[in-house]
Homo-oligomer: A and B are copies of this chain.
Amino acid sequence: MDELEIDAVAEVELDDPVLVEGLPGVGHVGNLAVEHLLEELEGESTLVRRIYSREFPPQVSVEDGVSELTCAEIHAVDTAEGRDLLLLTGDHQAQSNAGHYVLTDAFLDIAEEFGASEVYALGGVPTGELIEEYAVVGAVNDDSLLDELEDAGVEFREDEPAGGIVGVSGLLLGLGERRGIEASCLMGETSGYLVDPKSARAVLEVLEEVLEFELDYESLDERADEMEEVIGKIQEMEQQQQMDVPTDDDLRYIG
């Protein structure tokens, strides 16, 4: 396994596509959002690239007894309505600092290969508490991108995100800027305690507007209802005892 191995699984002609990134992060917001996009657009999407790397954790996932080596995937979506898309998903981020740079460069190379010059990195920004309203906080790599996103309801806040944006989402903006690629990061507010379908929906609603397509949210809403149930139980428990952050088991119930 080299530093990078990119499998060209299929080729698809796209017209000025937009790369949308949804790797795991805070609240799994970006991950959930892009996986929902993939479900909804299944009929129009084709797996085009698998990216393997020494920088990914050395493991396989197992489903129904069959293994799959850690990788990131890019699906090309030749949409009937709205912008063409390149959807970037995966279960893991790089495991080293340099690894984040290596993988992000690979994702941008593939984006350029398909003629993309715009990127949306999707993620979450943790509030540290359960919330009712789900704002979407933004960051862009060029100030010409601010207006359109503000019109779509994205908030650009003076002190946020505190500490900047770490990992592939941040580097898509930073390295994208050096290649002349316009990149924006949309971060749904989320408690940070749970995999958050409401936050994912808030971010997708912004994307719907800027990329000019319409999505159905039924399956995401079902997950949101399950999440509300768990939150209810958690709040009951809270009233009974001092409570820690929910366990992985609770998280698995939601996600």
Copies in the complex: 4
CB pair B174–A70 under 8 Å, yes or no, is yes
| Interface segment, one of A30-38, A97-105, A189-197 | A97-105
CB pair B60–A156 under 8 Å, yes or no, is no
Question: Main secondary structure on chain A at its contact with chain B?
Answer: mixed
Binding site for B on A (CB under 8 A): 1, 5, 52, 54-62, 64-70, 94-98, 100-102, 104-105, 138-143, 146, 156-158, 160-161, 163-168, 170-171, 173-175, 177-178, 185
Q: How far, in angstroms, from A164 to B102 measured CA to CA in the complex?
A: 24
Identify which of B54, B105, B157, B174 contacts A97 (C-beta below 8 A): B54
24 A-B pairs, CB-CB below 8 angstroms? A1-B104, A1-B175, A52-B178, A54-B101, A54-B102, A56-B97, A58-B97, A58-B98, A58-B167, A59-B164, A60-B173, A61-B164, A62-B139, A62-B161, A65-B139, A65-B143, A65-B146, A66-B143, A67-B139, A67-B140, A67-B141, A67-B185, A68-B174, A70-B174
Q: Which of A62, A101, A146 has the most CB of B within 10 A?
A: A62
Q: How far, in angstroms, from A57 to B185 measured CA to CA in the complex?
A: 18
CB pair A64–B185 under 8 Å, yes or no, is no
Q: How far, in angstroms, from A156 to B185 measured CA to CA in the complex?
A: 41
Which residues from chain B contact A1 at a C-beta distance below 8 Å? Answer: 101-102, 104-105, 175
Q: How far, in angstroms, from A147 to B98 measured CA to CA in the complex?
A: 42
